[in-house]
Chain A
Amino acid sequence: DILQWPQISKCRSPEMETFSCFWTAGNFYNLTVPRILQLLYKKSNEEDWKECPDYITSGQNSCYFNASYTSVWTPYCVQLASKNEVYDKKCFSVDEIVLPDPPVHLNWTLLNTSQTGIHGDIQVRWDPPPTADVRKGWITLEYELQYKEVNETKWKELKPRLSTMVPLYSLKTARDYEIRIRSRQRTSEKFGEFSEILYVSFSQIGIGCDHCTEEVEFPWFLVVVFGVCGLAVTVISIMLSKQPRLKMLIFPPVPVPKIKGIDPDLLKKGKLDEVNSILACHDSYKAQLYCDDLWVEFIELDIEDPEEKNRASDTDRLLSEDHLKSDSCLGTKDDDSGRASCCEPDIPETDFSASDTCDATSDSDQFKKATEKEEDLLCLERQDNDESLPNLASTDPQHQHRNIQSENSNVWAPFDGSIESPHLSVHTQISNQNSLTSTDFYAQVSDITPAGRVVLSPGQKSKLGRAQREGCTEQNFTMDNTYFCEADVKKCIAVTSHEENEPCVQEQGYNEDGYFTTESLTTTVANLGASTAAPPSSEMPVADYTSIHIVQSPQGLVLNATALPVPEKEFNVSCGYVSTDQLNKIMP
């Protein structure tokens, strides 16, 4: 056994008027000679230790200090000692050790019962401990009530309160309850002992509900089942409902990548006509998306085509690199018409690109996919663009170049600048094959068909049909030459001059841009050569519109057709070749 010394277990004052100290004797008492324990005390302002005045009143191993010995706010020290030894010591003041007695005279009364008789409210009353002088205000107590059902183990607590009565609500009349109360001094933390237990039994009063013993438990299972079913029904009904707004509210649609105005289904189904028409409306869209792709595609196509290889020299290819980009725009696949504008969207007037576009799309066998639709698109695009007419005009010289068997003639030099010619030749070589369509600088659009095709004014334009092409090809124009003689051109033109005007965008497999006309070709030739042996009146050379377009410097200048008569003589001199100097002379 462990040796336990005597020690003071606690000192307690129930009412702040008396106090008692309790101690334990320990177990050595039995082992050795019995010793007598003493409790000595001392007030703070005293010197001597005094012995406990009363060992009996509080029971064994206790010391009781009555009111005469008690000073409330005076510090005390007590010590447990025998004759020789001090075993334990404690110092305190009485106001710190107040632990009230339990309340007495607990009782309860019924307040009311519920309609069903299953629950009832009661009021519990009690009296303060008799020792505590509450009436004179010497001590202020607060009470804590605890209750539980008889067969429960855990007590429910109420908040401490000053009053000596408390209502309890919603007790089950079928069950019996136990109530107990304890008190403490108001500013203390420790509670005194619990009072005796009060038993509450409704059956004693006669309102017990024996047959109500079955408690109506909350039907959790049913609630969950029905809740889930209801929710499922609601969700299904919402999903199936035709009300789009409701559906959107509950199930908001997940945004998918979408382009305004473009239906993804349309793209999938691949109706090129519609797709092209739609895409024509999105210049920027094309510009962003297709440049690089076109570039790549164009290169690939370029390689694949043996004709292209044959025609283009290395130099030309290199030169063309600069324009491949724009050309690549042209190298549009079927659904990518209008790429041309994409590549150089910031260059409105200098439609080098624009012309390229037209060219490219209208172009070579490589791009056999190019359909009427493309032409339509191009024409449409032109229509949509503000620059359409100027573009047309500006592209003319280039187109004209291309038209002529993809060979640049010297004739065109004044328009495009000699420097430009190789470009153009390259362009034409690359872009065009056997295409003889030519256009005026300008062509007046007289109408737009519902299908989206452009109808150009008849006087200005005649679209070259295959016949034209064939006619020109028969001439055996050398494709490799950058230039060709105007005589040849004249022939070509003459052949084609009788062609009637055709709508800009027409035939299937027609790769040329519809804006090319022999008439424009004729016009320039006539002007240059000062020869009036122009094509018939139906193709009066002078276009409705003429303009001077200044293309980017390396590419030369585009001259107004009407201004051409001046340099005619000079041009006559050389065979279809005009040098830059001559060109400069021409220009005012």
Chain B
Amino acid sequence: MSAKGASLKGLLLMALLVSHMLLTKEGVTSLPICPKGSVNCQLSLEELFDRAVKLSHYIHFLSSEIFNEFEERYAQGRGFIAKAVNSCHTASLTTPEDKEQAQQIHHEDLLNLILGVLRSWNDPLIHLASEVQRIKEAPETILSKAVEIEEQNKRLLEGMEKIVGRVHSGEVENDIHTSWDGLPSLQLADEDSRLFAFYNLLHCLRRDSHKIDNYLKVLKCRLIHDNNC
């Protein structure tokens, strides 16, 4: 029952957090909304990109915060940092690693890559939201953020699919994403190992959300503003 109570509290807190976030940060709510199901409603590509960038920025912001909180709460003195020469499950996706590569890659490919990364994170985020609750005395903020990230990630995925539908001229490429097999590590009995698994996952989440945020900004400047943001 405590878990349920905690989840209720978490939901409430999340609702408050979301409303706070949306109001204080660059609110996604300020953008015009296209009602669901309306056929004629056509958001411009610029608006789609604006929303996507705002969402990706928000997700990265949450990821940074949840990582910082987790590190502060659980990682001190455990030497996690030293072990963080890690490989994220999305490492197999060859994404641009510097500015030249990002500028040279074709925007459709880049969009596909973004989609791939987002899809790869669908599953881990769901499990993160559920497993983080089992951490002993997990703070409410971490719980709420985990839930929020998972939700926003879904929204960004939908938005990206819309953008890809608009931008893509040719066939839709195959769905490129990597599967995640880290769930057992999140459920290890040994607390240290389990916390380290969380630490890695959150670290990877922060990195990948930063990547996506950057790629989208580059794409936006390239496609919408013609490299003149």
* Contact B82–A91 (Cβ < 8 Å): yes
Residues of A within 8 A of B221 (CB): 135-137
With both chains docked as a complex, state the minimum distance between the C-beta of A132 and any C-beta of chain B, in angstroms.
11
**Docked pose: A136 CA to B221 CA in angstroms:** 6
Does A491 have its Cβ within 8 Å of any Cβ on chain B? no
Residues of A within 8 A of B229 (CB): 134-137
Residues of A within 8 A of B218 (CB): 136-138
Residues of B within 8 A of A138 (CB): 99, 102, 214, 217-218
* Contact A95–B207 (Cβ < 8 Å): yes
Residues of B within 8 A of A16 (CB): 99
* Contact B227–A135 (Cβ < 8 Å): yes
Does B105 have its Cβ within 8 Å of any Cβ on chain A? no
Does B64 have its Cβ within 8 Å of any Cβ on chain A? yes
Residues of B within 8 A of A459 (CB): none
With both chains docked as a complex, state the minimum distance between the C-beta of A97 and any C-beta of chain B, in angstroms.
13
Residues of A within 8 A of B64 (CB): 187
Does A72 have its Cβ within 8 Å of any Cβ on chain B? yes
Q: Quick one: closest A residue to B100, CB to CB?
A: A67
With both chains docked as a complex, state the minimum distance between the C-beta of B218 and any C-beta of chain A, in angstroms.
5
**Docked pose: A75 CA to B84 CA in angstroms:** 8
**Docked pose: A138 CA to B218 CA in angstroms:** 6
With both chains docked as a complex, state the minimum distance between the C-beta of A88 and any C-beta of chain B, in angstroms.
13
With both chains docked as a complex, state the minimum distance between the C-beta of B42 and any C-beta of chain A, in angstroms.
25
Q: Quick one: closest B residue to A18, CB to CB?
A: B98
* Contact A67–B99 (Cβ < 8 Å): yes
Q: Quick one: closest B residue to A139, CB to CB?
A: B214
With both chains docked as a complex, state the minimum distance between the C-beta of A65 and any C-beta of chain B, in angstroms.
11
With both chains docked as a complex, state the minimum distance between the C-beta of A15 and any C-beta of chain B, in angstroms.
9
Does A49 have its Cβ within 8 Å of any Cβ on chain B? no
Does B81 have its Cβ within 8 Å of any Cβ on chain A? yes
Does A44 have its Cβ within 8 Å of any Cβ on chain B? yes
Does A12 have its Cβ within 8 Å of any Cβ on chain B? no
**Docked pose: A187 CA to B99 CA in angstroms:** 18
**Docked pose: A45 CA to B94 CA in angstroms:** 14
Residues of A within 8 A of B98 (CB): 17, 67, 70-72
Q: What 0/1 readout, one digit per residue, does chain B (74-113) give for beta carbons within 8 Å of chain A?
A: 0000000110111100000001011110110000000000
Which of A73, A133, A136 makes the CB contact (< 8 A) with B210? A73
Which of A17, A70, A71, A186 makes the CB contact (< 8 A) with B57? A186
Residues of A within 8 A of B87 (CB): 44-45
**Docked pose: A134 CA to B214 CA in angstroms:** 11
* Contact A136–B207 (Cβ < 8 Å): no
**Docked pose: A135 CA to B60 CA in angstroms:** 21
* Contact B57–A187 (Cβ < 8 Å): yes
Which of B85, B213, B214 makes the CB contact (< 8 A) with A44? B85
* Contact A136–B97 (Cβ < 8 Å): no
Does B134 have its Cβ within 8 Å of any Cβ on chain A? no
Using a Cβ–Cβ cut-off of 8 Å, how many residues does chain B contribute to the interface with A?
30
Q: List residues of B (190-215) whose CB comes within 8 Å of A's CBs.
A: 207, 210-211, 213-214
* Contact A17–B207 (Cβ < 8 Å): no
Residues of B within 8 A of A187 (CB): 57, 60-61, 64, 210, 213
**Docked pose: A468 CA to B199 CA in angstroms:** 117
Most A CB contacts (10 A, CB to CB) among B81, B102, B229 go to B229
Does A140 have its Cβ within 8 Å of any Cβ on chain B? yes
Q: Quick one: closest A residue to B26, CB to CB?
A: A162
Q: Quick one: closest B residue to A89, CB to CB?
A: B82
Does B162 have its Cβ within 8 Å of any Cβ on chain A? no
Most A CB contacts (10 A, CB to CB) among B60, B85, B218, B227 go to B85
Does B222 have its Cβ within 8 Å of any Cβ on chain A? yes
With both chains docked as a complex, state the minimum distance between the C-beta of A427 and any C-beta of chain B, in angstroms.
78
**Docked pose: A138 CA to B57 CA in angstroms:** 13
Q: With A136-B229, A137-B221 as given contacts, are A73 and B85 in contact (CB-CB < 8 Å)?
A: no
Does B228 have its Cβ within 8 Å of any Cβ on chain A? yes
**Docked pose: A136 CA to B107 CA in angstroms:** 14
Does B220 have its Cβ within 8 Å of any Cβ on chain A? yes
Residues of A within 8 A of B103 (CB): 136
Which of A73, A77, A95, A133 makes the CB contact (< 8 A) with B99? A133
Q: Quick one: closest A residue to B220, CB to CB?
A: A137
* Contact B85–A91 (Cβ < 8 Å): yes
Q: With A95-B210, A135-B227, A137-B217 as given contacts, are A72 and B97 in contact (CB-CB < 8 Å)?
A: yes
With both chains docked as a complex, state the minimum distance between the C-beta of B201 and any C-beta of chain A, in angstroms.
15
Which of B61, B86, B228 makes the CB contact (< 8 A) with A75? B86
Q: List 16 A-B contacts (CB under 8 A).
A: A44-B86, A44-B87, A67-B98, A71-B98, A73-B97, A73-B207, A77-B85, A91-B82, A135-B229, A136-B218, A137-B217, A137-B218, A137-B221, A138-B217, A187-B64, A187-B210
Q: Which 5 A-B pairs have the closest CB atoms?
A: A137-B221, A137-B217, A71-B97, A44-B85, A137-B229
A67-B98, A95-B207, A136-B222 known, 5 other contacts, Cβ within 8 Å: A67-B99, A73-B95, A74-B97, A137-B222, A187-B61
Q: Enumerate chain A interface residues (CB-CB to B < 8 A).
A: 16-17, 44-45, 67, 70-75, 77, 91, 93, 95, 133-138, 140, 186-187
Q: Enumerate chain B interface residues (CB-CB to A < 8 A).
A: 57, 60-61, 64, 81-82, 84-87, 95, 97-100, 102-103, 207, 210-211, 213-214, 217-218, 220-222, 227-229
